Amino acid sequence: MYLSKLTIDPTTKISQDHFDNPYEMHRTIMSGFDQFTNREKANALYRLEFPNKNSYSKYPVLLVQSSIEPNWEKVKNIKGLLLYIPEQTNPSTKQFTPSFKENQILRFRLVANPTRRISNFRRIVPIRDENELIEWLNQKAQSGGFEIFLNSLAIERKDIYQFEKRKNDHSSLITLHQVEFNGYLLIKEFHFFLRSVEKGIGRGKSFGMGLLSLAFM
């Protein structure tokens, strides 16, 4: 697997366009892979992180995880998108091999788009109630080979994003209900957990949702 870090220049119009429209960000990220590789084949997941008091960076950082090594030359040629950082490589990519094991405790962050289906209407609706959000995450954990320590769980923010997706002269309005979860988890079943890491969790993966970031204690 590969983890890339792209530091974004927050002062330019093209960066603002990417911040405001996750579809533009998706297209830019996928330009790092060849034209025959879609997001699912690359297992490409990403998350855009803005600086806050707990950040390690003073600038917006785009984290991209993939099972195929990306080539960011096209992205580097997008004028004004990436920040020039003296004596640092931007973008940077490193390969890593997951070294997880069962009964291991890890710190996690997940920005997701929690939804549920209304069976009578076959509609998919966002989950907003905090208890239902916790239940949704627990269900994903059970099927994903891990367990959440509920006393550590923090729901940090809830945001709504609306943007236009254009394709082949057609456009559609996309709405994402973004929720950030932070806490600790216990690995129960290695192979199911590894799939959760590789494939992501929940809907909206093309638009910055579902990347399960992990840190050792």
Residues 10-40 have pLDDT tens digits of 999 999 999 988 889 999 999 999 988 889 9
Question: Strands of 2-7's sheet, edge to edge?
Answer: 45-49, 61-66, 2-7, 92-95
pLDDT tens track for 62-91: 999 999 999 999 999 999 999 998 888 999
In a domain, 100, yes or no: no
CATH code for the domain in which residue 109 is found: 3.30.70.1210
The model's confidence at residue 125, banded by pLDDT at 50, 70 and 90, is confident
Predicted TM-score (pTM) above 0.85? yes
Domain boundary among the residues 70, 95, 120 is at 95
Domain boundary among the residues 45, 70, 95 is at 95
In a domain, 128, yes or no: yes
Q: Are residues 121 and 149 in the same domain?
A: yes
Q: How many CB atoms lie within 10 A of CB 69?
A: 13
Q: Are residues 91 and 112 in the same domain?
A: no
What are the φ/ψ torsions at residue 212 (nearest 5 degrees)? -95, 100
Percentage of residues in the chain having pLDDT higher than 90? 72
Q: Are residues 116 and 209 in the same domain?
A: yes
Domain count, the chain: 2
**Lowest mean per-residue pLDDT among 42-51, 140-149, 171-180:** 171-180
Q: Are residues 39 and 128 in the same domain?
A: no
Domain assignment of residue 19, given as a range: 2-95
CATH code for the domain in which residue 52 is found: 3.30.70.1200
